């Protein structure tokens, strides 16, 4: 098992793009079984804070939300496509404040089926992919890149930022799977390659920032891609997504709205 958890104080050596973006901790591990990576995943959860659940309300700013895909029904699982905005909804248990958006050649997403559905589990390749939390797994379709973006859980149209994101990957055999973090100005602030290991092993990468820096994360998985029917031998899919509570980005218009009365008040005081 490969494992590294780094506490990072220096900004310059590990991030770039935004001067005040500082990585606080990096949690990364590769192991053959779920038990091999569980402690590192739990440490990442603890670093983000308590679980805020899945209601369409603002939770503890220093808490977290997570997706293990079990809240998704068969209707949005293999052989059906998975809507990228499924977990940015105004009802529980779908209110997580997160969306998945296709980039590059990716045109859609898919979740694997449960055994009870009668469809093949783990995309028909159970020997290739290991689940961290049973049963479903997640993959882009016709491409190997996608973006993760964040929204206010209480207002599904309002952009948000988070303190961090961690993802469980399976079957990372080569050092080409990456996570790249961007701020609200779409400036790249940090990138990291996911630890590789033997076939069907589990890898986890989670990054915590010292403030609410992250507006988007670009994910690139494996060297090939799922075409809707088959995976290449080096295909990579994902299980749990764990992320800090999304906090709404202040609206510039709101700031101006407050600034105008204050300026008027200041003028009245000066003239008095």
Residue with tokens 């891609």: 225
Average pLDDT, the chain: 88
CA dist., res. 144 & res. 189, Å (int):
21
CA dist., res. 23 & res. 44, Å (int):
13
Closest CA to 213 of 143, 269, 162: 162
Closest CA to 8 of 184, 239, 166, 210: 210
For the segment 40-51, the average pLDDT, to the nearest whole number, is: 98
pLDDT digits (tens, 9 = 90+) for 98-147: 999 999 999 999 999 999 999 999 999 999 999 999 999 999 999 999 99
CA dist., res. 263 & res. 111, Å (int):
53
Question: Got the DSSP string for 173-206?
Answer: -STT-EEEEE-TT--EEEEEEPPP-STT-EEEEE
Query: Is the CB of residue 32 less than 8 Å from the CB of residue 201?
Result: yes
Note the pTM of the prediction, 2 decimals.
0.87
pLDDT digits (tens, 9 = 90+) for 72-108: 999 999 999 999 999 999 999 999 999 999 999 999 9
CA angle 207, 20, 182 (to 5 degrees): 50
- Residue 13's pLDDT is 32
- Residue 270's pLDDT is 41
CA dist., res. 63 & res. 183, Å (int):
19
Instruction: List, in order, residues 6 or more apart from 220 with CB less than 8 Å away.
Output: 144, 145, 176, 177, 178, 180
- Residue 19's pLDDT is 41
pLDDT digits (tens, 9 = 90+) for 147-165: 999 999 999 999 999 999 9
Look at residue 60 and give its three-state secondary structure. Answer: coil
């Amino acid at each position: 098992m490969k494992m590294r958890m780094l506490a990072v104080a220096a900004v310059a050596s590990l991030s770039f793009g935004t001067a005040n973006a500082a990585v606080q901790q990096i949690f990364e591990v590769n192991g053959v079984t779920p038990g091999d990576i569980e402690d590192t995943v739990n440490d990442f959860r603890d670093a983000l804070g308590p679980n805020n659940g899945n209601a369409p309300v603002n939770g503890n700013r220093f808490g977290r939300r997570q997706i293990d895909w079990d809240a998704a029904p068969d209707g949005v699982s293999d052989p059906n496509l998975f809507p990228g905005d499924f977990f940015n909804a105004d009802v529980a248990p779908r209110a997580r404040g997160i969306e998945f958006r296709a980039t590059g050649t990716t045109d859609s997403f898919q979740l694997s089926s449960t055994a009870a559905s009668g469809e093949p589990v783990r995309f028909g390749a159970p020997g290739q992919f290991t689940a961290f939390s049973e049963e479903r797994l997640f993959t882009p379709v016709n491409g190997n890149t996608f973006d993760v973006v964040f929204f206010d859980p209480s207002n599904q149209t309002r952009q948000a930022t988070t303190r961090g994101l961690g993802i469980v990957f399976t079957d990372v055999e080569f050092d080409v799977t990456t996570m790249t973090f961007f701020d609200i100005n779409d400036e790249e602030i940090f990138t990291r390659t996911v630890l590789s290991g033997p076939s069907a092993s589990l890898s986890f990468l989670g990054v915590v920032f010292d403030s609410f820096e992250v507006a988007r994360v670009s994910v690139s998985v494996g060297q090939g891609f799922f075409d809707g029917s088959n995976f290449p031998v080096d295909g990579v899919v994902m299980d749990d997504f764990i992320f800090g509570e999304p906090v709404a980005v202040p609206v510039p218009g709101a700031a101006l709205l407050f600034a105008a009365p204050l300026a008027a008040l200041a003028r009245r005081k000066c003239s008095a």
